[in-house]
Amino acid sequence: MIKPLPLYLLAFLVLFVSCDQEKETPNFDVDQDYQPLEIGNFWIYEVDETIFFGENDSETDQFFYRDRVRTSFLNAENEMTYIVQRSKSPNRQNWVTELEYTLLFRDRSLLRTVNNTPIIPLVFPPTMGRIWNGKAYQAEGNDDFELVEAEPGVISGFEGVELVRVNQENLDDKITTRDIRYEIFGKGVGLLEKYDEVITYCSRNDCLGQELIDGGSKTHLKLVEYGKD
């Protein structure tokens, strides 16, 4: 006949199993909620894009991007890697796949790789004034990104969302180069806004300092819808 275990021993076993389970449960970093990553998550952006070909020669286009987390896998470093499919549409109805890129969390940072070019657009916790090398994973990269306070209500429709802004570059010497790049993330939402303006000015003697655009591009993404399907 098998004797029942004493009550004190049963209590000890229950406590041991409970503690063991707590140790095995991963500690989810709530700060990572500034970029939620689950299969099926999607974000739709309104895009304004201008390509400058030279003085008084440019082409402007308006369209939409739809970024959707298509699938995920464990990479060689055993990191959960999410594949994001980006589609383009002129009217939010007919979508055509444009590219795929990856997102993953590494060393308390977000790593985004587009066209084999990795950058670190966000670090955790997102503390104001924090500076890091956003191109740390690029062979020739050295570019300081800085977390600054985002103005509340800066994006229509997301007035109640906690925001952080990352200034990637803020340069305009009025003579040769204008390079302004930033991204805004919303807690529980993800990337809300992305602005990239990289242009060169005419530097000939007859136009130097007149801020005449010689070439470059300006692209502005603003979130209009997000969810999960």
pLDDT reported for residue 55: 81
Given this model, what pLDDT does residue 16 score? 41
Q: What is the pLDDT of residues 72-129, one digit of tens each?
A: 999 999 999 999 999 999 999 999 999 999 999 999 999 999 999 999 999 999 999 9
Residues 6+ apart with CB under 8 A from 134: 119, 120, 121, 141, 143, 144, 145, 168
Q: Residue 18: pLDDT above 90?
A: no
Per residue in 176-217, pLDDT (tens digit) is 999 999 999 999 999 999 999 999 999 888 888 888 899 999
**What confidence score (pLDDT) does residue 26 get?**
37
- Mean pLDDT, to the nearest integer, of 146-160? 82
Q: Round to whole Å and give the CA distance between 189 and 44.
A: 12
Span 51-76, mean pLDDT?
A: 96
pTM, two decimals, is 0.84
Percentage of the chain modeled with pLDDT above 90: 72
Q: Is 51 helix (H, G, I), strand (E, B) or coil?
A: strand
Least confident of 54-58, 81-85, 160-164, 195-199: 54-58
DSSP-derived letter for residue 46 is E
Spatial contact of 47 and 219, defined as CB atoms under 8 Å apart: yes
pLDDT at 6 over 70: no
pLDDT above 70: residue 174: yes
pLDDT in the model for residue 54: 85
- How high is the pLDDT of residue 102? 99
For range 1-10, the mean pLDDT: 50
| pLDDT given for residue 151 in this prediction | 76
Whole-number mean pLDDT of the chain? 88
Residue 229 vs residues 39, 57, 85, 185, 224: alpha-carbon distances, Å? 9, 41, 14, 21, 16
Report DSSP letters for 195-221, one per residue.
Answer: EEEEEEE--STTTTTS--EEEEEEEEE
